């Protein structure tokens, strides 16, 4: 019996081996074949032991369905999309549980041109649950490939690496998959490296979760930055599709401020273009839009939705406040290395410190760390907020957003967790604290 909770908006993910395991991965792989009817699929995996175990089952399910498998081995999550569009494969599957704790496993699936196959796709889910699959007359074949050199070469063509000036950079992949390619990425670049947790480990070095948004998980990095005094610090999550930054003072820089810097940098590469961001925190991005003359488009939160919006609008850049960054060059896939190189480029070209680059966006802008609430009936809470803040500007593109001239908030159900999430920004720290307390009390009833 398969727990239907594992079929999510972006992928299939759950506890391993309870909710997802070898047998379930096999069934999902066969349902995936029936969904997209591929001839050749590239398969990769993150560094987790669960992913290695389920990898064999996924390959078996594909091969028995008559599909040829290109075994790309261990990789970062963005590499699977690159493999699909760069080599023109019919689809790709990566065994990954993203930044979840060790006891999780998952699968992310794409079809031609690296377009996401949602985990909650109705047909895929139904076929997996029923064990329905394609009956092949002949088994597929397996071929091992190494895409790392081509991938790193691709990344370096997006950024003008000739403009990079020597920086002293603290590098922290949290023992995740970025450590697989970091040496190749940095080869020949003007850097004084300070390596921290760069060796990939199946247990992420014992970290509770390889997630830089978790204050506890980056505490040691901040301590190291304060000791070593690098020009800036880059921290990647476990599967390498997100990157976070500390400035030269070892201070964590919230993603919306990094996004604003990236908007200005990308605008120089793509003038008169547009970018897409989710609507949880928007004021820094609005200012960057004005500064760069890039058109700002708002999307529903989530990897899948930002990709779709970028594709529809032919936007060149996208960002989510959780530090997912998307690019036209990557066929709207998110990527953790490109933003790192672009921030490095922005620091190099401007001659400014990272703290100086983000300062105009932090001025008179304050935001909370996202607050999670366990709510049994989110719709009832949202109805109450709409009544209590009826004089504010409201929209329901993504949960509920209410905006006033000097503060705004968004409450939305998570796409990946059974919680509701509150985000808020304000033009003074005092106002932010007052409104956070007020809204939280209403939410909690």
Residues annotated as catalytic are: 98
Half-sphere exposure of 415 (CA within 13 A, CB side): 17
Residue 75 vs residues 177, 328, 329, 409: alpha-carbon distances, Å: 6, 21, 19, 37
The whole-angstrom separation of Cα 368 and Cα 444 is: 17
* Residue 163: other Cβ atoms inside 10 A: 11
Two tokens, residue 390: 């009826």
User: What are the residues whose beta carbons fall under 8 Å from the beta carbon of 141, sequence distance 6 or more?
Assistant: 63, 68, 69
* Residue 144: other Cβ atoms inside 10 A: 9
What residue spans of 254-398 are helical by DSSP H?
A: 255-269, 283-292, 303-313, 337-350, 354-362, 378-388
The whole-angstrom separation of Cα 34 and Cα 132 is: 8
> Please, is 211 exposed, middle or buried when counting C-beta atoms within 10 Å of its C-beta (0-12, 13-18, 19+)?
buried
> How are beta strands 317-320 and 295-299 bridged, if at all?
unpaired
Contact call for residues 99 and 167 (beta carbons, < 8 A): no
Tell me the backbone φ, ψ of residue 295, rounded to 5 degrees.
-75, 135
Q: How far from chain centre, in Å, is Cα 196?
A: 21
The whole-angstrom separation of Cα 178 and Cα 80 is: 13
Plot region of 97 (φ>0 → left; ψ -120 to 50 → alpha; else → beta) = alpha
User: Residue 12: in which H helix or E strand, if any?
Assistant: strand 12-15
User: What are the residues whose beta carbons fall under 8 Å from the beta carbon of 350, sequence distance 6 or more?
Assistant: 356, 357
The whole-angstrom separation of Cα 391 and Cα 121 is: 38
Strand partners, 193: 169
CA angle 286, 292, 295 (to 5 degrees): 60
């Amino acid at each position: 019996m398969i727990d239907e909770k594992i079929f999510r908006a972006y992928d299939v993910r759950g506890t391993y081996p309870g909710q997802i395991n070898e047998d379930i991965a096999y069934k999902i792989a066969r349902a995936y074949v029936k969904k997209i009817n591929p001839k050749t699929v590239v398969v990769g995996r993150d560094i987790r032991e669960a992913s290695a175990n389920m990898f064999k089952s996924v390959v078996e399910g594909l091969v028995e369905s008559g599909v040829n498998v290109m075994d790309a081995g261990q990789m970062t999550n963005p590499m699977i999309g690159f493999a699909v569009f760069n080599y023109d494969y019919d689809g790709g599957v990566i065994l990954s549980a993203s930044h979840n704790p060790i006891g999780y496993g998952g699968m992310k699936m794409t079809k031609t041109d690296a377009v996401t196959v949602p985990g909650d796709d109705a047909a895929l889910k139904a076929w997996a649950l029923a064990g329905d699959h394609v009956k092949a007359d002949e088994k597929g074949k397996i071929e091992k490939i190494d895409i790392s050199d081509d991938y790193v070469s691709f990344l370096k063509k997006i950024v003008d690496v000739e403009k990079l000036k020597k920086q002293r950079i603290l590098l922290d992949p949290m023992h995740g998959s970025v450590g697989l390619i970091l040496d190749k990425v940095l080869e020949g670049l003007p850097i004084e490296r300070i390596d921290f947790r760069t060796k990939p480990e199946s247990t992420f070095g014992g970290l509770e979760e390889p997630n830089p948004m978790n204050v506890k998980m980056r505490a040691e990095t901040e301590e190291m930055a304060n000791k070593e005094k690098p020009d800036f610090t880059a921290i990647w999550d476990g599967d390498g599709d997100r990157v976070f930054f500390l400035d030269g003072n070892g201070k964590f820089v919230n993603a919306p401020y990094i996004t604003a810097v990236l908007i200005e940098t990308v605008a120089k590469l793509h003038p008169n273009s547009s970018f897409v961001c989710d609507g949880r925190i928007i004021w820094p991005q609005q200012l960057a839009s004005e500064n760069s003359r890039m058109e700002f488009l708002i999307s529903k939160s989530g990897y899948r939705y930002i990709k779709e919006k970028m594709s529809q609008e032919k936007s060149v850049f996208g960002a989510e406040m959780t530090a997912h960054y998307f690019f036209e060059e990557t066929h709207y896939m998110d990527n953790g290395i490109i933003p790192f190189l672009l921030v490095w480029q922005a620091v190099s070209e401007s001659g400014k410190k990272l703290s100086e680059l983000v300062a105009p966006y932090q001025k008179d802008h304050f935001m909370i760390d996202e607050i999670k609430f366990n709510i049994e009936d989110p719709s009832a809470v949202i109805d109450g907020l709409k009544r209590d803040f009826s004089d504010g500007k409201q929209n329901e593109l993504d949960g509920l957003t209410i905006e006033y001239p000097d503060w705004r908030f968004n409450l939305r159900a998570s796409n990946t967790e059974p919680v509701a999430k509150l985000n808020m920004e304000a033009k003074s720290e005092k106002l932010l604290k007052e409104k956070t307390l007020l809204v939280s009390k209403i939410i909690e009833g």
